[in-house]
Amino acid sequence: MFKRVLLKLSGEFLAGDSGFGISPETTAGLAHLITQAHAGTGVELAIVIGGGNLWRGARNGAGMDPATADYIGMLGTVMNAMALQDAMEAAGQPTRVMSAIQMQAVAEPYIRRRAMRHLEKGRVVIFGGGNGAPFFTTDTTSTLRALEIGADVVLMAKNKVDGVYDSDPQKNPDARRFDTLTHMDVVERRLEVMDATALTLCQDKGLPIVVFDLFGEGNLRRLLSGERVGTLIQT
Ligand code: UDP
């Protein structure tokens, strides 16, 4: 049974059918799903939100100074965090946004002990602004924040993929899904779980990861209630 978890959401979860931008309807649906799944479980929930629906430094910033392009991406994650907070509070869940890049008018600055205090009080904390440093992704932010706040696990939410497979299940009908893996298995088989820097950090610190389908019926609720869902990666 988990006491405190870190949920990683890609920015795409906020986009509508176009896959780009923030759709208020999609965001409301997402917030509803998370709030319902979390309600009454007693599990402390922190969220890291990505920014790929708005901007990815390497892709959208081609030709720019790479650090500047990444900072734009980090600002995008704060926009997503604000949209998700708005929707979660509308769904009845008190929520705080903490940003790694200071912008006091819209988000609290990230202060580790303060984040933990919010969690203890039953607030959901959304970490925006990535790590506050370029050349990283929000996968590393998930791992870093999870370790900082003492989360039991990183929950990597996926859309339409219900775990880690030995090959792409969209292309190979015989693809096999793993129930459990070690961090080393993931590294050696080059399985797609999170980027290499984030994975190495999880491996070094023995932080478990669960890869699961966020839209699978009852999946998040079951996970938060201590059931096994998706693929569990641990040392
Ligand atoms: N980013 C960054 N440092 C971080 C986190 C994010 O520079 O610590 C930038 C980077 O440009 C990245 C963008 O923010 O491409 C959006 O984050 P990410 O690609 O992780 O979003 P996701 O794929 O999860 O939606």
Share of the chain above pLDDT 90, in %: 96
Cα 135 to middle of ligand 1, angstroms: 8
pLDDT for 1: 86
Report ipTM (2 d.p.).
Answer: 0.97
Q: Is residue 228 pLDDT above 90, yes or no?
A: yes
Find how far residue 70's CA is from the centre of its chain. Answer: 18
How would residue 160 be classed by pLDDT, with cut points 50, 70 and 90? Answer: confident
Within 6 A (CB) of ligand 1 lie 10-12, 50-52, 56-57, 70, 73-74, 76-77, 130-131, 133-134, 136-138, 140-141
Contact 175, 197 (CB under 8 A): no
pLDDT for 186: 97
Residue of 12, 26, 77, 211 with the most ligand 1 atoms within 8 Å of its CB, for mutation: 77
Residue whose Cα lies nearest atom 13 of ligand 1: it is: 73
Which whole number is the average pLDDT over 218-224?
Answer: 97
Model confidence pLDDT, tens digit, residues 118-135: 999 999 999 999 999 999
Contact 35, 88 (CB under 8 A): yes
Which whole number is the average pLDDT over 137-162?
Answer: 97
Model confidence pLDDT, tens digit, residues 78-100: 999 999 999 999 999 999 999 99
The two beta strands, 177-178 and 164-165, are antiparallel
Q: How is the beta sheet containing 95-99 ordered, strand by strand? A: 108-109, 95-99, 124-128, 44-49, 4-9, 153-158, 209-213, 231-233, 180-181
Cα 48 to middle of ligand 1, angstroms: 11
Residue whose Cα lies nearest atom 22 of ligand 1: it is: 50
Which of 11, 14, 33 shows the shortest CA–CA distance to 24? 14
Residue 50 annotated as part of some ligand binding site: no
Query: Which region among 28-42, 139-153, 161-175 has the lowest average model confidence (pLDDT)?
Result: 161-175
Q: Is residue 170 pLDDT above 90, yes or no?
A: no
What does pLDDT average to over the chain? 97
Which whole number is the average pLDDT over 101-119?
Answer: 98
Cα 220 to middle of ligand 1, angstroms: 24
Cα 173 to middle of ligand 1, angstroms: 31
Give the CA radius of gyration of the chain: 17
Cα 138 to middle of ligand 1, angstroms: 5
Written out in words, the top-level CATH class of the domain with range 4-153+218-229 is alpha beta
Q: Is residue 115 pLDDT above 90, yes or no?
A: yes
Domain range summary for the chain, segments of one domain joined by +? 4-153+218-229
